[in-house]
Amino acid sequence: QVQLVESGGGVVQPGRSLRLSCTASRFTFSNHGMHWVRQAPGKGLEWVAVIWYDGSKKYYGNSVKGRFTISRDNSKNTLYLQMSSLRAEDTAVYYCARDRGADYFDYWGQGALVTVSS
């Protein structure tokens, strides 16, 4: 069964940076695009970013564009989200999700909580 495990969450002060990781297993990571999706406490899902299977293309949601960077290391089966200039409104559980055909999200990780607070 596909497995996605996020790590790197925690409490960070406004304006600081944090990097999330998502380690993939039990599938060929380099064959799939990957997404980050977040969910603020008590709120709905918000799409954050996508990276193509080979890292050649990256797209971002308006609320994080210019502050967040998605990347991947196919040799390590790992997806990253570098978050900078963090704001209180970035507080959320961040999920990584596997892309299927640039269409939908077929597997999700368990999520990593990021809290931005002074």
User: Applying CB under 8 A, which residues contact other proteins?
Assistant: 35, 37, 44-47, 50, 57, 59-62, 95, 97, 100, 102-111
Our CB check for other proteins shows the closer of 49 and 83 to be: 49
Q: Confirm if 26 and 81 have CB atoms less than 8 A apart.
A: no
CB of residue 35 to other proteins, shortest distance in Å: 7
Our CB check for other proteins shows the closer of 81 and 109 to be: 109
Our CB check for other proteins shows the closer of 80 and 95 to be: 95
CB of residue 27 to other proteins, shortest distance in Å: 15
Our CB check for other proteins shows the closer of 46 and 53 to be: 46
CB of residue 64 to other proteins, shortest distance in Å: 11
11 Cβ contact list (under 8 Å, min separation 6): 115, 116, 117
Nearest CA among 78, 109, 111 for reference residue 93 = 111
CB of residue 29 to other proteins, shortest distance in Å: 18
